[in-house]
Amino acid sequence: MKFLNRNTTNLEPKNPINYILICWIFGIIIAPHFPFSQYLTLSIFTFIFFVFIYIKKSKYFFLLGLILFISLGFSWYKLYHKTPKNHYSNVAKTENQFIKFELIQKLNFTDYYRNYIIKINSISNENNWKNTSGYALLKVNQNKKVNLSFSEKYIMFSSFKEIDSPKNPHQFDYKKYLENKNISYQLKIDTILFTEKKSYSLKSFLADCRENLSTKIQNSPYSEDSKSIISALTLGDRTLMDSSLKEEFSKSGIIHLLAISGMHIGIIYLIFSWFYGLIFGKITSKKVLLILVLLSIWIFGIFVGLSASVFRACLMLSIYQIGLILKRPQKLLHVLGLSAFLILLYNPNQLFDVGFQLSFCAVLFIGLLNPHFDYFLHRKANFIPKFIRSVFSMTLSAQLGTLPIVLYYFHQFSLLSLFVNVLILPLALGLVVFSFISLIQITFLPNFNFIHSIFDYIIFLLRKVTNFASHQDSFLFQNISITLFQVCIAFGIILCIPNLFNRKKSLGYLLYIVFLFLVFSISILYNFNLTKNKKEFIIFHQPFNSVYGFRNASCFNYLIDENTNTENTIQYIINPYITGENISSTKQLQNAVATLFNCSDLVIFKPKKYTNQLPSNCNILWISHSTKVNSDILNSMQLKYIIVDGSNYPNYVKKIKLQVSDSTKLWITGEKGAFIYQFKQ
């Protein structure tokens, strides 16, 4: 592409949109930490605007302009999060109510629930229906036969419940994740009481088309892996995808292949360009062809639901192509800056979305690093075919540019991912094309089995590669702990790399890199010193089971109950704790039979059966698996804490709460989170 040429000056931030964007982003970042009202922020913005106009010719014009757009980003975030008067949270109750809703989006399904985002249309309050707005999370038990369609509205009898905060240290904050999507409540249902057809709309029509195609895919003779990949690449639906397939692709570093994102939109753009060029190339101008291709891209994006990743890709591509139509020079920072600004103007929450951060960093660093890597390989490895060199340099640029973010959010990285991407990415074009051919065959030629045999074999080979790569544990680095400060330092190091290819600047920037590495190393030592003397006992929260451990500096020994799904417990409870606490040595203990744990100033009694007497030196009572305990023990003066973990039945927990007279002693992990006792140094 022209804007990735090594000799061009397209990376120079001459356009003011980049300064505006940086200030806008800064305003959005600080907004959640200041509880100013929308009216106050608007007043501040208005004041600064008039001062800005008044001193336009002053030397402070540029500085005040920056403050103006910071306050504008701040105000826009506050306005975006203002709760409307008719929001359902203003009339929602904790007891059951009649609720009318419609389906908005399918989320990934789990082993226990089918998850959806729904729009609350109205709520019945004392036999009066009140029109409402707002979105909620709906959880439907996998065992219940509740089928939801985008073309209908439903009435259910349920109650709103706040989404729980994480109960264990360093666990993924699903509540915060949903709040960024303006979702704060969840509902669970077993049955639908009433359904009615929605009024006709383009959105519901397209959603029905996707549902019908998804049903045809599920009923086709393709293998389960093939069905899920066809559905993901053509309809943007990953609900059919097996968790083992996702895990293999994730560990191999190619999980992005399974989502419609920038790369797929680029491939579809090439397909449309070839198709329209073949049909209309001789009778229309290039401008008309570009407009046709862009319209087709947006139609496809709308058809698959126009998710955030699809919207980003379509917008960036459109801005670039419109620049070509208008014959304006294409500058990478201008295209990225304008795209990011428009997205954040539409939804400021996108700034905190991992996909937003990864996609923009990938494109930015492909533009920054790829020309230099490609030029270097051209000089030093000219014997390698140009196509392979280009794919390798582009993949390396994207991997380096997104590495700090990947480590910060996912805490793992595979050295094989670079080579797997180089191997798989050239096949991505064929995979996307073949997926659409398969969808056409499923829809119009269901009895034509030749295509599905070929596609199944391709997916079989792809699974072989990803399975091999994901099981090379010596190349997979997991539980990597990295702070936000270290992420910034890492980006500083990566930004210095292009200047190493400039002989005049290479020495100076090499010294910068050495200095930044030194700062990075000091921050690691500082974090290590903070935890080197830390000793604690922790009882994690896990429903229906007991999980606990002893931490001594950077060593952690833990025990998982026999009946627990060990793999899930390690992945979602133990590993986040290990990563967040910078623990380097772990050991899983065998299931304990002891009932008394004596550790320094901590003596814990965990009865296995009914008891009416405490050990003389016990200061903490730990109740698990609904073990019956005498009420006199629960109110003993010698106890500091009474811990009730997640293995107890909910009704039993309620009974314990009624029996304990001093509620300050009672620690229920399902309410307060994991119990952590830090030993005296």
Q: Using one digit for the tens of pLDDT, what is the confidence trace for 363-415?
A: 899 888 988 888 888 888 888 888 888 888 888 898 899 999 999 998 888 88
14: pLDDT strictly greater than 60:
no
In sequence order, the 6+-apart residues with CB closer than 8 A to the CB of 525 are: none
**Hey, what amino acid is at 509?**
Y
What DSSP letter does each residue of 362-407 carry, written as one string?
HHHHHHHHHHHHHHHHHHH-TTS-HHHHHHHHHHHHHHHHHHHHHH
- Give the sign of the dihedral formed by CA 248, CA 254, CA 257, CA 260: positive
Query: What pLDDT is stored for residue 1 in this prediction?
Result: 41
Q: Decide: 336 and 380 in contact? Cβ < 8 Å.
A: no
Q: What is the mean pLDDT of residues 197-211?
A: 79
Residue of 678 and 667 predicted with greater confidence: 667
5: pLDDT strictly greater than 90:
no
**pTM recorded for the entire structure:** 0.84
Can you tell me the distance from the alpha carbon of 398 to that of 396, in angstroms, rounded to the nearest whole number? 6
Q: What angle do CA 401, 402, 404 make, to 5 degrees?
A: 100
Query: What pLDDT is stored for residue 563 in this prediction?
Result: 66
Residue pLDDT, tens place only, 590-618: 765 445 555 666 778 788 777 777 777 78
Can you tell me the distance from the alpha carbon of 573 to that of 8, in angstroms, rounded to the nearest whole number? 49
**Hey, what amino acid is at 440?**
I
Residue pLDDT, tens place only, 511-540: 989 999 999 999 988 888 887 788 888 999
pLDDT band at 329 (very low <50, low <70, confident <90, very high): low
Of 158, 179, 175, 157, nearest in space to 167 by CA? 175
352: pLDDT strictly greater than 60:
yes
Residue of 329 and 474 predicted with greater confidence: 474
Query: What pLDDT is stored for residue 54 in this prediction?
Result: 65
The tally of CA atoms less than 13 A away on the side-chain side of residue 201 is: 9
Query: What pLDDT is stored for residue 343 in this prediction?
Result: 93
Query: What pLDDT is stored for residue 4 in this prediction?
Result: 43
Q: What is the mean pLDDT of residues 555-569?
A: 82
User: What is the largest distance, in Å, between two alpha-carbon atoms of the chain?
Assistant: 95
- Provide the percentage of residues in the chain whose pLDDT is more than 90: 18
Query: What pLDDT is stored for residue 595 in this prediction?
Result: 54
Torsion angles phi and psi, residue 340, rounded to 5:
-65, -40
Q: What is the mean pLDDT of residues 432-458?
A: 85
Query: What pLDDT is stored for residue 8 in this prediction?
Result: 40
Mean pLDDT computed over every residue of the chain? 83
Residue 351, phi-psi category: left (phi > 0), alpha (psi -120 to 50), beta (remainder): alpha
Q: What is the mean pLDDT of residues 235-244?
A: 81
Cα Rg of the chain (Å, integer): 29
**Hey, what amino acid is at 84?**
P
Highest averaged pLDDT of the listed ranges 189-193, 198-202, 244-248, 291-295 = 291-295
pLDDT band at 669 (very low <50, low <70, confident <90, very high): very high
Can you tell me the distance from the alpha carbon of 347 to that of 345, in angstroms, rounded to the nearest whole number? 6
| Chain centroid offset of residue 214 CA | 24
Q: Is 562 helix (H, G, I), strand (E, B) or coil?
A: coil
